Amino acid sequence: MSKVKQSAWTAADYERAARKYERTLPLEHFMESLPQSTQRKITLESLDVLHARRSDVQVFNELLIQYFFEGKLRRVVPDNMVRLCDQPPKTPGSFNVELEPVQPLLVLEYVSVSSIRKDYKESFAKYERELRVPYCLMYYPEDRDLQIWRHAGEEYERLPVNREGRHEIAELQLEVALRGDWVRYWHQGELLPLPGDLMNQVDQERQLRVAAETEVARLRALLEKAEGGQSRPRRTRKDT
């Protein structure tokens, strides 16, 4: 990243700048249509499972990134951001590049009709030329257009698919592809489940357990009946 280190800036300075920036944002900035919010929900739920398996995978939602580029304070807010780190960000209200030991690995944008220019042009340029984020995912749900880019040193290149037809992010042991209308995620070849999928799995396992317990009880009753019949003494003519 081409940047000017602003050693005089403290965490408190960045936080004040973040609060000031937030007050300038229009209400439209906080609005999100249903397809974009659905994809965000799927991503967060999937990557929460990944985090449970790998605690170093940190996932952030609409976290303001602040950084200096060519002597000027710059900002961008990805829909989601992922990095590999065991420590939380240095400041709670924003991600300030100059203060952080570990930078973003992956940024994700869910493009809408109203954000096409901002996402495909402005934000993309910041990720590519200024922040040099290793991976950038952009998904336009209305067109089912999934683009995943990998930084090649000077600029982004489209990330090809593997033999399974998925885009692979090796650092996360993660694969990404469309499944139906939505971007889904695979960890070590296994599709990361959503809460609904997990609930269905739990329900199915519960039903199988109840059925197994019922069958065991039936067989035990048959066995006890059979054993009871065998223990009765046979009646002879003298007994009659």
Question: 90, 157 in Cβ contact below 8 A?
Answer: no
What is the CATH T-level fold of the domain 11-192, as seen in this structure? tt1808, chain A (3.90.1570)
pTM, entire model:
0.80
- Domain residue ranges in the chain: 11-192, 196-230
70-100 pLDDT per residue, tens: 999 999 999 999 999 999 999 989 999 999 9
197-231 pLDDT per residue, tens: 765 566 566 667 767 777 777 778 878 888 876 66
pLDDT at 227: 80
Question: 139, 168 in Cβ contact below 8 A?
Answer: no
Instruction: Report in angstroms the alpha-carbon separations of 135 from 82, 164, 167, 197, 220.
Output: 10, 20, 11, 28, 59
In one-letter notation, the amino acid at residue 223 is: L
Q: Residues of 42-54 as b/e, b for ≥16 C-beta within 10 angstroms?
A: bbebbbebbeeee
